[in-house]
Amino acid sequence: MIATALSNILKLFLPSWNFFNDFSTVPRLDVRTIQDGRECEWRTLYTTVSTRSIRRVFFNADGNIELLEKTFIDRATEEFAPECPRLRGQQRDNSSDLNKNNALSHSRVSAPGDGRTPSELGKHHKILTRIVRSRLTATQLDDEFQFRLVMTSPGQPEEILFVSAHLPVQEETR
Amino acid sequence: MTLEPHIALRATQLLLGIGIALQAAEVLATRSAHARLCIGKHPPDFWAQWLTAKMLVRLALSAVLIVGFGKHLQVIEPVFYMGLIFSSVGLVIRFNGPFGGGSDSMTFQVLIGLLIASLGVANPILVRVGLGWIAAHSVLSYFIAGIAKLKTENWRTGLAMQTLLRTDGPYTLFAPARNLADSKSLCAGLSWMIIVFEIAFPLVLILPWEGKLALLSIGLLFHITNAVVLGLNRFIWAWAATYPAVLYFN
């Protein structure tokens, strides 16, 4: 914790100035609701939107909070799958076991939660749960939800990095 | 033509003050959403209050930067910068990194430069050191970003730009910009324009006055375009705040 804080402070003093690396991979957060035990279809948490508003040049509170949330999704991606070759900018081996006809590769995920408990999944699991929950409660109050992290790369099949367990939409009160 | 150091410093204070005030206002408008992203043992309600207090303090400090210190407050000018610097460090710890991305990093560097320059009462050379610090980070930020893009195949081919402008990419796009992603050659052209501009930016230090103004105008236009297309509005103020220091070094 202290080491992470010191590392972040050091980065503030010595920034890398290396913006927009290469966009060879872009993580995406998907969510689905579970109503009466029935799992709905996966959908992206952030719907594809665009704006014609010039106002955001002067004030962009909603856009900037969404960008911050996506920063946490990026960090979670690194936390959940640090060994992921795509995160290291390596090209996928042509002889990989991916089913090329399948839009999604499930090779990295064997079970919801990847067999780990939420506490084992680290701080970013908690943050992602909060992000999803806040965006769900704004629209609906179903029984449960589930989220997954998907890695997308242009021209390549999507890859599921992590699938959460079923979680209550309403935050549990203690 | 040259820029007097006190004018360069005043312009820097004004532009940075506007940037910090804007960020504080944006965070206050979405404090509940920000509070959910705070790292710590307390519940989000606690962090919402913490953020509100912190942003109100930053708003007050930035107001002084905008209005100017005047003769009465000039003696304690370094204290204002220290307050903003410590507050920035606190935010970085709480959000596990700069929560405004690169704009936070540049804002921080400008604050460091202003802090150094504010100690110029003790030794006038510190004014030059402070402005030099800001100018160096401004030039380095463009140059390093340009070199990084040049070394990356996806930027050279335009694929990175295409992904950036894709409808399902990482940004909420300005609607007309979505069409740009359809043409890979156009994206490659745009990529190369950015690469050339960023790598050429250090020339600003040796160009004549008119050349400096032209290059900085392109820089400002670049950041305004990013704000329109990608929504990166905070970068305008953070980088514009470095331009007076760049102009000072003629």
Residue A84, pLDDT score: 54
Instruction: List B residues 211-240 in contact with A (Cβ-Cβ < 8 A).
Output: 224, 227-228, 231-234, 236
CB atoms within 10 A of CB A103: 7
Instruction: Give B 74-113 residues with CB within 8 A of chain A.
Output: 88-89, 92-93, 95-102, 104-106, 108-109, 112
Chain A positions in Cβ-Cβ contact with residue B178 (cut-off 8 Å): 50
Q: Tell me the pairing of strands A104-105 and A43-44.
A: unpaired
pLDDT at A20: 65
pLDDT at A174: 44
Share the mean pLDDT of chain A: 74
Largest CA distance in chain B: 58
Residue A116: pLDDT over 70:
no
Pairing relationship of beta strands A38-39 and A43-44 according to DSSP bridges: unpaired
Mean pLDDT of B96-109: 89
CB-nearest partner of B167 from A21, A48, A131: A48
Whether A12 and chain B come into contact, CB under 8 Å, resolves to yes
The predicted model gives B178-195 an average pLDDT of 92
Smallest Cα distance from B153 to chain A, Å:
8
Helices (H) and strands (E) in chain A, counts: 3, 8
Q: Which residues of A touch B105 (CB under 8 A)?
A: 11-12, 15, 17
Residue in B with minimal Cα distance to A128: B37
User: B6, B130 in Cβ contact below 8 A?
Assistant: no
* A75 contact B CB<8A: yes
Contacts of B222 (CB under 8 A, 6+ apart): B194, B197
Tokens representing residue B210 in the block: 């008119």
From the list B30, B97, B236, the residue facing A61 with the nearest CB is B30
- Which comes out higher in pLDDT, residue A48 or B213? B213
Asked if the Cβ–Cβ distance from A18 to B148 is below 8 Å, we say yes
CA distance B165 to B151: 20
Closest CA to A166 of A28, A38, A78: A38
Query: Exposure of B159 by Cβ count < 10 A (0-12 exposed, 13-18 middle, 19+ buried)?
Result: buried
**Torsion sign, CA atoms A63, A66, A68, A71:** negative
**How confident is residue B74, by pLDDT bands cut at 50, 70 and 90?**
confident
